[in-house]
Amino acid sequence: MTYHAPVDDILFALKTAAGLDDLINRGSISVDADTVRAVIEEAGKFATEVLDPLNSVGDKTTSKLVNGKVETPPGWAEAYKAFVEGGWGALPASEAIGGQGLPEMVAMAVMEIWSSSNLSFSLCPLLTHAAIDAVAAEGSPELQRVYLSKMVSGEWSGTMNLTEPHAGSDLGALRTRAEKQADGTYRIFGTKIFITYGDHEMTDNIIHLVLARLPDGPPGTRGISLFLVPKRLVNADGSLGARNDVVCASLEHKLGIHASPTAVMKYGEKDGAIGYLVGQENRGLNTMFIMMNEARLGVGVQGVAIAERATQRAIAYAQERKQGRSAKGKAGDMSPIIEHADTRRNLMTMKALTQAARAICLVTARELDVSHAAKDAATKAAATARAALLTPIAKAFSTDIACEVASIGVQVHGGMGFIEETGAAQHYRDARILPIYEGTNGIQAIDLVTRKLPLEGGRVLAGYIAELRETVEEVRASNRPDFGRMGERLAAAVDALEETSGWLGGTLQKNPEAALAGAQPYLRLFGLASGGNYLARGALAAARNGPAGSAAARIAVARFFAENLATAAPGLKDTIVTGADSTLALEPEALSA
Amino acid sequence: MTYHAPVDDILFALKTAAGLDDLINRGSISVDADTVRAVIEEAGKFATEVLDPLNSVGDKTTSKLVNGKVETPPGWAEAYKAFVEGGWGALPASEAIGGQGLPEMVAMAVMEIWSSSNLSFSLCPLLTHAAIDAVAAEGSPELQRVYLSKMVSGEWSGTMNLTEPHAGSDLGALRTRAEKQADGTYRIFGTKIFITYGDHEMTDNIIHLVLARLPDGPPGTRGISLFLVPKRLVNADGSLGARNDVVCASLEHKLGIHASPTAVMKYGEKDGAIGYLVGQENRGLNTMFIMMNEARLGVGVQGVAIAERATQRAIAYAQERKQGRSAKGKAGDMSPIIEHADTRRNLMTMKALTQAARAICLVTARELDVSHAAKDAATKAAATARAALLTPIAKAFSTDIACEVASIGVQVHGGMGFIEETGAAQHYRDARILPIYEGTNGIQAIDLVTRKLPLEGGRVLAGYIAELRETVEEVRASNRPDFGRMGERLAAAVDALEETSGWLGGTLQKNPEAALAGAQPYLRLFGLASGGNYLARGALAAARNGPAGSAAARIAVARFFAENLATAAPGLKDTIVTGADSTLALEPEALSA
């Protein structure tokens, strides 16, 4: 079934969770609400008409390495050309470098749409955008002059080269070598793996951003530098010169995102690939970390996207497929399975998780926008800290639920869900990379507990929890029967979050292993409390302003989340606070016996 | 990495959860403990040496329909031949029909081993066994004489033909037609889908068991009859005759179990496929239901099997893969990821869920054995009822956790988990069919709430809950510090189970939709209370008898389950008891808007 961008849902989250109107009024972002809607609607059209029809084609055909060239699936190059010509590549870049300067909130909303309709395709502009950020933030004026505008337009694509076979989560272990030349350039030697769109023929040039180590650099993460390595060298006049010494050695055979070429890249098989330093020597990882919040948020949005797509497909099937007789069905007739209570629980779970994750991601984007726009240091610091706190939740909660929602989506289809032609299985396969790349969700949870929870001595978190409590109080004060136990369940979730946060904060000092053992359930608990909060804010807004029909639906989803999903929060608290000993009871030898 | 049958874990579950020794002592089963171990060890060898090496080959090659014949992957036919020659096909059948008459408990233990090493392969003997059961239970003496011994030996394979395009969960809607002939045979006309091993060349003949409708039969489920339809007709002397009018029209392109041919079967494209009635006219579904408990339990065991395989693979990788430095790692060294607290939680979760599901399945098998062997009616009825109660848990809980455990398995591998060659992804794909086939897990949950919970006015369930309480009391009375909060957490889980059972029992009358809305979380809650109970019994036994080292590991896993997973039980109670209104708040029109 055809993808349709959930324009109203996205705008609802932008307004009720992420405070779009408030930001516009305060001048923190320089677009008006009509423009935001228009951009989202236009993106939705492009996605429905151009990207969505290629999604299944790409999955079946896959990208292939043929005679040293990477062939993308049929229609891919044309779609990319249309994407660039439509100006979509430039959308997220700032105006200073030739982009459209749209706020992060809108860029992320649009990215959801690209990723929903065709995750494999969307990775090419996403990685290009990440590379643009690196060059724009730390590249020399000369590098920016030569490379930026063609990357911003999408004429050239970009890649990020971090991982090596023995250095995944642990980047400190990387071995790719950079040797400084007399002319100020560097020669790069080494192998990088898992390079998304590492090679292809859709653009004339590919700009690789590569982490490598200088011979005299300190060991570990402090001796890593960042280099720009073009596939084709660029002449002084901007024209393309010789091929650089970088090749795609092979493509991976993956569980999902088949059309996105995941390359093993070899640098310096001959004389060394010519590279240009980005930023300072040995500070490459700092540059990467600057961009990491946005990249991680972007992956969280991909989680929302796949969850949304899987939900749309499951709902469409459940309306059409008839089996058994529901409570309202007539004797002798089969009922659409969407009428069965059991299927309704499945679909409500899919909807509620998707909408909660979307709200978390868009709120995180909002904080980035506030941080970018802030004129006073305090506002900037507060927004930056809030974005830092929420980023691991946005990344990990959204991608965990993407896998869960995609799995429920298969289930709703019954036997047809297991048949590849149905399409539900592709979402289940595609989703599975999301909890892994851009920092595994385990790493996100550790980041949350060890770096984010202690931010400003815990005050960043305390301030956030205080806001959650305000929502709970508003829900309770509203005293609406149609809110059911929303207030009670969300209060219990916030209590659980606060208690575990306190416990983790204390335990992190005394027994760090025990705190780390609780990191994953803590992140889940955080996501439930946070997601429930934003949906409740939406319900409050809908109750105040919404037309009766749509308000009822917003309230129902928020209430469902609180009464059916956030109910897991107190149990997660028990797991975190009293489960560490048994988690760590078996030493590795006994665990593997 | 190579599969090794978890012989000790299986025997531990057989003894401590399923009471193997007790059944042997009472004479309910006619094997001794040494034989049981020997059978399991021998099966493990065959699985490791023959089936496991073909698992990935089969996934890559897939079964294919070529010129009207189904080609199984390279090595498949030879492995099947070895399987039959080893007598493994006959293992689960009763002695009366030429089988080895091993108890269900042992048959299921062995089936776990086949399914772990090669799920696609194992489906052929599994379906054959189901067909044998139907013929043995209801077939005429003549049908049994002609077909049974060759099916029992595995010389001929069997299939079950239930599903049609418009009739999946709702078998009452099936349309395949059977016309009675003057000679007492029938002609079958219709299309069946999702027929596992519907066609292949590994055996000389394939015996299809087909549900079809007589022209004068009543509508719905009461007008369905069961027929035996051989691929090749069998002459009076037992030799093979002409091809019957049944063909494989196509094979499905599936998410997983690629090597298992899933066929669309066309019956009666010419004059009608010749079929023989099994049992009475219009009573076909009753015959199917007799076998359903065992078939559903078998699928539950497949869930255990995939979870076990995924766990073995993840542990092996976590021992080998080094990233970062753990708390016990030396400065400058990378540590195996199995030392990281976060990975240890993942691996403990995999182990504990797998072992809990295994115990539930083997206890269910035990009840079937007691029921089969019982000489007094009361014992038989009690065991039959207990098996009926536990079957939906065995099927659905085990297959739900199979998907979860396989997903964690991918995650433990990081980026390598997403690469097909690693093997973890195959488990994630293969597992996904298990919650669907043999009655979706939604159907299992509905069966639990609407048929099993009310068994004997709720007394079957009450008796079970009383047993769970005995374990809780034993755990508490043992007063062992190394049991941690096991007693407390399990008590809370049993309380939650009892309260929700009471609520569901009452609600089922007043507001059946609300009860059905809670069916899935109720099944999960049941699985947690039940699984935690069996692991606790294992811990109690280990504490009493076990050598210090292995006892510690058994206790740790049981305690982990109680303190980290069973902690979800009270939240599930809240979801069930107070979540139905919001689950059903949106009518289908609003839900799909």
- Does the distance separating the beta carbons of B568 and A568 come in below 8 Å? yes
- What is the Cα–Cα distance from B437 to A497, expressed in whole angstroms? 39
Chain B hits for A333, Cβ within 8 Å: none
Mutation test of the interface with chain B: which of A313, A346, A418, choosing the one with the most B Cβ atoms within 10 A?
A418
- Asked if residue B561 has pLDDT above 90, the reply is yes
Instruction: Dig out the tokens for A447 from the structure.
Output: 């980041």
- Which one of B253, B342, B347 has the shortest CB-CB distance to A446? B342
Burial class, B494, CB count within 10 angstroms (exposed 0-12 / middle 13-18 / buried 19+): buried
Which of A431, A362, A356 is closest to A400 using CA atoms?
A431
State the average pLDDT over residues A476-503.
97
Q: Which of A90, A109, A142 is the last residue of a domain?
A: A142
Question: Quick one: residue B411, left, alpha or beta (phi over 0 = left, psi -120 to 50 = alpha)?
Answer: alpha
Nearest residue in chain A measured CA to CA from B436: A414
The reply to whether B569 touches chain A by the CB within 8 Å rule is yes
Is residue A127 domain-shared with residue A210, that is, in the same domain? no
Chain B hits for A569, Cβ within 8 Å: 571
Containing structural domain, residue B449: 441-582
Residue B146 pLDDT: 96
- What is the Cα–Cα distance from A200 to A262, expressed in whole angstroms? 10
- Asked if residue B92 has pLDDT above 90, the reply is no
Provide the residue type at B259 as one letter.
Answer: A
Residue A38 pLDDT: 97
pLDDT band of A90, cuts 50, 70, 90: confident
pLDDT band of A411, cuts 50, 70, 90: very high
Is residue B53 domain-shared with residue B180, that is, in the same domain? no
Is residue A178 domain-shared with residue A87, that is, in the same domain? no
- Does the distance separating the beta carbons of B570 and A418 come in below 8 Å? no
- What is the Cα–Cα distance from B15 to B300, expressed in whole angstroms? 19
- Asked if residue B117 has pLDDT above 80, the reply is yes
Residue A251 pLDDT: 98
Size of interface A-B (CB pairs under 8 A): 292
Q: What confidence tens digit (pLDDT) does each residue in B328-383 have?
A: 888 888 999 999 999 999 999 999 999 999 999 999 999 999 999 999 999 999 99
Residue A168 pLDDT: 87
The reply to whether B346 touches chain A by the CB within 8 Å rule is yes
Average confidence score pLDDT of chain A? 96
pLDDT band of A169, cuts 50, 70, 90: confident
A140-144, A170-174, B360-364, range with the lowest pLDDT: A170-174
Task: Tokens 């009892």: give the residue.
Answer: B498
Residue A114 pLDDT: 98
- Asked if residue A293 has pLDDT above 80, the reply is no
- The answer as to whether B252 is a domain residue is yes
The reply to whether A560 touches chain B by the CB within 8 Å rule is yes
The reply to whether A504 touches chain B by the CB within 8 Å rule is no
- The DSSP code for B218 is P
For residue A75, the domain's CATH number is 1.10.540.10
- What is the Cα–Cα distance from B306 to B350, expressed in whole angstroms? 11
- The DSSP code for B581 is H
- Does the distance separating the beta carbons of B579 and A560 come in below 8 Å? yes
Residue B288 and residue B211 in contact, taking contact as beta carbons nearer than 8 Å: yes
ipTM of the predicted structure? 0.98
Instruction: Dig out the tokens for A48 from the structure.
Output: 């429905």
Residue B593 pLDDT: 79
A50 or A592: which leads in pLDDT: A50
- Asked if residue A502 has pLDDT above 90, the reply is yes
Is residue B215 domain-shared with residue B134, that is, in the same domain? no
* Residue B549 CB partners (closer than 8 Å, separation 6+): A590
Is residue A199 domain-shared with residue A274, that is, in the same domain? yes
Q: Give the DSSP H/E element, type plus range, for residue A192.
A: strand A186-196
Q: Which A residues in the span 162-181 are in contact with B, Cβ-Cβ below 8 Å?
A: 163, 166-170, 173
State the average pLDDT over residues A536-557.
91
The reply to whether B584 touches chain A by the CB within 8 Å rule is yes
Which of B359, B451, B458 is closest to B401 using CA atoms?
B359
How far is A5 from chain B, CA to nearest CA, in Å? 13
CA B561 to chain centre: 21
Domains: count for chain A: 3
- Does the distance separating the beta carbons of B586 and A348 come in below 8 Å? yes
- Does the distance separating the beta carbons of B341 and A411 come in below 8 Å? no
- Asked if residue B277 has pLDDT above 80, the reply is yes
pLDDT band of A74, cuts 50, 70, 90: very high
Q: Which long-range contacts (CB under 8 A, 24 or more apart) does A183-187 make?
A: A185/A274, A185/A275, A185/A276, A186/A212, A186/A227, A186/A274, A186/A275, A186/A276, A186/A277, A187/A268, A187/A271, A187/A272, A187/A273, A187/A274, A187/A275
Q: What angle do CA B449, B455, B461 make, to 5 degrees?
A: 75
Burial class, B7, CB count within 10 angstroms (exposed 0-12 / middle 13-18 / buried 19+): middle
Is residue A571 domain-shared with residue A450, that is, in the same domain? yes
- Asked if residue A547 has pLDDT above 80, the reply is no
- What is the Cα–Cα distance from A231 to A236, expressed in whole angstroms? 16
- The answer as to whether A257 is a domain residue is yes
- The answer as to whether A506 is a domain residue is yes
Is residue B128 domain-shared with residue B181, that is, in the same domain? no
Residue A327 pLDDT: 85
How far is A201 from chain B, CA to nearest CA, in Å? 23
- Asked if residue A289 has pLDDT above 90, the reply is no
Which of A393, A310, A396 is closest to A3 using CA atoms?
A310
- Which one of B318, B345, B429 has the shortest CB-CB distance to A583? B345
Question: Quick one: residue A406, left, alpha or beta (phi over 0 = left, psi -120 to 50 = alpha)?
Answer: alpha
State the average pLDDT over residues A13-30.
96
- Asked if residue A545 has pLDDT above 90, the reply is no
For residue A194, the domain's CATH number is 2.40.110.20
Which sequence positions of A are flagged as catalytic?
A: 438
Q: What angle do CA A307, A312, A316 make, to 5 degrees?
A: 145
Residue A442 pLDDT: 97
Beta-bridge mates of residue A192: A265
What percent of chain A shows pLDDT beyond 70? 100
Residue B233 and residue B99 in contact, taking contact as beta carbons nearer than 8 Å: no
Chain B hits for A578, Cβ within 8 Å: 484-485, 563
- The answer as to whether B319 is a domain residue is no
Q: Is A225 helix (H, G, I), strand (E, B) or coil?
A: strand
Q: Which A residues in the span 477-496 are in contact with B, Cβ-Cβ below 8 Å?
A: 484-485, 489
Q: What confidence tens digit (pLDDT) does each residue in A181-211 have?
A: 999 999 999 999 999 999 999 999 999 999 9
Residue B438 appears among annotated catalytic residues: yes
**How many other C-beta atoms can be found within 10 angstroms of the C-beta atom of residue B320?**
11
- Does the distance separating the beta carbons of A436 and B586 come in below 8 Å? no
Q: Which of B142, B171, B205 is the last residue of a domain?
A: B142
Residue A261 and residue A306 in contact, taking contact as beta carbons nearer than 8 Å: no
**How many other C-beta atoms can be found within 10 angstroms of the C-beta atom of residue A155?**
14
Chain B hits for A167, Cβ within 8 Å: 323
Is residue B478 domain-shared with residue B543, that is, in the same domain? yes
Residue B294 pLDDT: 81
Instruction: Dig out the tokens for A255 from the structure.
Output: 């569980």
* Residue A553 CB partners (closer than 8 Å, separation 6+): B586, B590, B593
Task: Name the pairing type of β-strands B232-234 and B206-213.
Answer: unpaired
Residue B451 pLDDT: 96
The reply to whether B516 touches chain A by the CB within 8 Å rule is yes
Which of A564, A586, A113, A538 is closest to A355 using CA atoms?
A538
Residue A265 pLDDT: 98
Instruction: Dig out the tokens for A268 from the structure.
Output: 């310096």
A442-446, A545-549, B245-249, B432-436, range with the lowest pLDDT: A545-549
Is residue A133 domain-shared with residue A220, that is, in the same domain? no
Residue B499 pLDDT: 98
Burial class, B235, CB count within 10 angstroms (exposed 0-12 / middle 13-18 / buried 19+): exposed
- The answer as to whether A351 is a domain residue is no
The reply to whether B520 touches chain A by the CB within 8 Å rule is yes
Is residue A164 domain-shared with residue A259, that is, in the same domain? yes
Residue A338 pLDDT: 97
State the average pLDDT over residues A428-436.
98
- What is the Cα–Cα distance from B323 to B11, expressed in whole angstroms? 35
- What is the Cα–Cα distance from A324 to B414, expressed in whole angstroms? 42
State the average pLDDT over residues A556-568.
98
pLDDT band of B291, cuts 50, 70, 90: confident
The reply to whether A567 touches chain B by the CB within 8 Å rule is yes
Residue A236 pLDDT: 86
- What is the Cα–Cα distance from A286 to B132, expressed in whole angstroms? 66
- Does the distance separating the beta carbons of B345 and A517 come in below 8 Å? yes
Chain A hits for B436, Cβ within 8 Å: 410-411, 414-415, 417-418
**How many other C-beta atoms can be found within 10 angstroms of the C-beta atom of residue B55?**
23
The reply to whether B58 touches chain A by the CB within 8 Å rule is no
- The answer as to whether B432 is a domain residue is no
- What is the Cα–Cα distance from B509 to B505, expressed in whole angstroms? 7
**How many other C-beta atoms can be found within 10 angstroms of the C-beta atom of residue B414?**
22
Q: Give the DSSP H/E element, type plus range, for residue B515.
A: helix B512-517
State the average pLDDT over residues B504-521.
97
Nearest residue in chain B measured CA to CA from A399: B411
What percent of chain B shows pLDDT beyond 90? 90
Instruction: Dig out the tokens for A440 from the structure.
Output: 């595994």
**How many other C-beta atoms can be found within 10 angstroms of the C-beta atom of residue A233?**
15
Point out the catalytic residue in the list B438, B456, B467, B589.
B438
Residue A247 and residue A264 in contact, taking contact as beta carbons nearer than 8 Å: no
Q: Which of B111, B142, B173 is the last residue of a domain?
A: B142
Beta-bridge mates of residue B322: B336
Q: What confidence tens digit (pLDDT) does each residue in A299-352 have?
A: 999 999 999 999 999 999 999 999 999 988 888 889 999 999 999 999 999 999
C-alpha dist (Å) from residue A491 to A475, A528, B583: 10, 12, 20
- Which one of B256, B410, B585 has the shortest CB-CB distance to A432? B410
Is residue B269 domain-shared with residue B165, that is, in the same domain? yes
- Asked if residue B495 has pLDDT above 90, the reply is yes
Is residue B136 domain-shared with residue B23, that is, in the same domain? yes
- What is the Cα–Cα distance from B590 to B592, expressed in whole angstroms? 5
How far is A48 from chain B, CA to nearest CA, in Å? 18
- The answer as to whether A339 is a domain residue is no
**How many other C-beta atoms can be found within 10 angstroms of the C-beta atom of residue B217?**
17
- The answer as to whether A385 is a domain residue is no
